[in-house]
Structure 1
């Protein structure tokens, strides 16, 4: 077998924002940058005309707005984008957001989770469950 060396993958930092315009945002990277800066919640950010990329599951905590966004391919049923938490207190592994705005963004490979009321509102906002 031949030993090959490859250069390490380096990503340009997204930075602390608070605004991101017309950029691709890889959610795992944004979460890690935020956690390395001392916070486990992505807060007070505005994303305009961005591609928001997973794989990831977002947990909007409060004050989050999605205006004019394409939430992703739901394969005919908006519930395919949603995950219901099994525990009553926590969701481990999801990326928490607080007071974030997404304006005319497109989501790719992203699911959403939260309280049942939030998930029900998302289903309604996305056109309802198929009959």
Structure 2
């Protein structure tokens, strides 16, 4: 058996601005948790590659401006996950009041309120379903 204790993942950092870097969402979420917060709040991501596997949960006023949301394999709804519970979604990376500008998402799904899911679907399909 191989000893993997020497494997390290470079720190993403506390921000508040991230520009032209690759961000592995599980690492960003873990760093936030180690700082005592479950929500990544008030950050700006510009021209970043944001990678999963992960499910992003926007709360508050998150904006996605000029972003490539990922490979939907022909149907944008493939990237969207509807929560079944009315109050909470477990296992997501939560963002509050964050800006995503010209970012590319890879292996990331999106979840949130019904209004958010409908809005992002409308924006990305140009209103077609």
Q: TM-score range with shorter-chain normalisation?
A: over 0.9
Q: Deviations over 1:20-72 (max 9, x none)?
A: 11000000000000010010000011011000000000000011000000000
Within 5 Å, which residues of 2 pair with 1:67-78? Answer: 67-78=65-76
Contact 2:79/2:109 (<8 A) preserved: yes
- Cα pair distance change 1:121/1:7, threshold 3 Å: same
RMSD between superposed Cα atoms in Å: 1.5
In 1, Cα distance between equivalents of 2:3 and 2:80:
40
Partner of 1:29, secondary structure, is: helix
Shift of 1:6: 5.5
Q: Higher Cα Rg: structure 1 or 2? A: 1
**Which contiguous aligned blocks of 4+ residues in structure 1 show a shift greater than 3 angstroms?**
3-7, 128-131
Shift of 1:128: 5.2
- Cα pair distance change 1:6/1:118, threshold 3 Å: closer
- Cα pair distance change 1:5/1:116, threshold 3 Å: closer
Aligned pair count reads: 129
TM-score computed with the length of structure 2 as normaliser: 0.94
- Cα pair distance change 1:128/1:79, threshold 3 Å: farther
Gaps of 5+ in 2: none
